[in-house]
Amino acid sequence: MKKENLHFQTINSISAFHRLLGLPLPNHPLISVVDLSDIRNLDGVTAKPTSYAFFIISIKKFVNGKIKYGQEYYDFDAGTMSFIAPRQTTIVELTDVNPISSGLQLSFHPDFIRSHPLGRTIHSYGFFSYGINEALHLSDKEERIIKNVFGAIREELDTSIDEVSQDVATAYIEVLLNYAKRFYRRQFITRKAVNSELLTQIEQLLEKYFDSKDPLLNGLPTVEYLASQLYLSPRYLSDVLRSLTGQNAQQHIHGKLIEKAKEKLSSSNLTISEIAYELGFEHPQSFSKLFKNKTNASPLAYRKLFN
């Protein structure tokens, strides 16, 4: 008999999710909208890593207590949206017995949208890769708009399911995602002062990394490394940087890398290979290729400018 893993669970269907939460079964097996105040059992999805086989979009408000995600606590006392993609692992720890006073949650299986264009484009919505601490914080007006879309989907699912119900609901899901995209861009702008501090922090992190033995020991710095140092998800970090500078996190790393390479080429007697290894490259040819791609000159040609 296979031993059950008590420390991890996978929820494979929306019906199973409803049963776990003590909710009536959904009208459609592949999609549902629920009022979070109707949930009767939160124990099944708290305090243990949980993976879902479907997308989850939630809007929460009036939280008593806090929600713990990973090692951090977050107090959602205003309208906020969070997004979970299939097979992402989340863990939620509640500090109150009944923390959520109001909110809505949309769940839909990938099969529900698979035959629609949205099935091919949904992964372009980067916020499904954000962490809970990078949730979308809504203004009152934005919250009303989002709740209206949730309501439209719910009303469609509460009517008689027919041959066009899937098309209508999928269209509303796409509207919801596009509103979220718009509101996240607004959030990047309104939090510009806070986000601008990231540029300084990233510069300091990369400066410290390249001035240490880390490149020799660990290779090139990665977007994942920067994100972990800043307690952000890699996708959120790149999206914030792109909103501020037009460049993503990987481009920022390359920019710093080229800057350090130029310093070494112009002021040291190290060979091209030695510089490549000191910067974290496993193969000098990879360094030369990237340098030429970014500067339109080979490392050797650049060095000759200073001799």
Rounded average pLDDT over 32-57? 81
Among the residue ranges 155-159, 222-226, 286-290, the one predicted with the least confidence is 155-159
Contact at 8 Å (CB) between 42 and 21? yes
Nearest partner of 40 among 63, 17, 23, judged by Cα: 23
Given this model, what pLDDT does residue 295 score? 95
Closest CA to 79 of 143, 141, 135: 143
pLDDT at 69: 46
Question: Which pLDDT score, from 0 to 100, does residue 243 have?
Answer: 87
Tell me the pLDDT tens digit for each residue of 9-44: 889 999 999 998 889 999 999 999 999 888 876 665
Give CATH superfamily name and number for 9-188: Regulatory protein AraC (2.60.120.280)
The predicted-structure confidence for 155-202, as pLDDT tens digits, reads as follows: 999 887 788 999 999 999 999 999 999 999 998 887 776 677 888 899
Answer with the residue of higher pLDDT: 16 or 66: 16
Q: Residue 279 belongs to what H/E stretch?
A: helix 272-279
- 63 compared with 41, residue with greater pLDDT: 41
Percent of the chain having pLDDT more than 70? 85
Q: Residue 166's beta-bridge partner residues? A: none
Q: What does the radius of gyration of the chain's CA atoms come to, in whole angstroms?
A: 24
The end-to-end CA distance of the chain, in Å, is 73
- When pLDDT is averaged across residues 124-141 and rounded to a whole number, the result is 87
Select the more confidently predicted residue: 134 or 237.
237
CATH 2.60.120.280 boundaries in the chain: 9-188
Q: Give, for 101, the enclosing helix (H) or strand (E).
A: strand 100-108
The reported pLDDT for the residue numbered 93 is 61
- Angle at 254 (CA atoms; ends 253, 256), nearest 5 degrees: 65
- The ranges of the chain annotated as CATH 1.10.10.60 are 193-304
Q: Write down the CATH number for the domain with range 193-304.
A: 1.10.10.60
Q: What is the pLDDT of residues 91-115, one digit of tens each?
A: 766 555 555 557 899 999 999 999 9
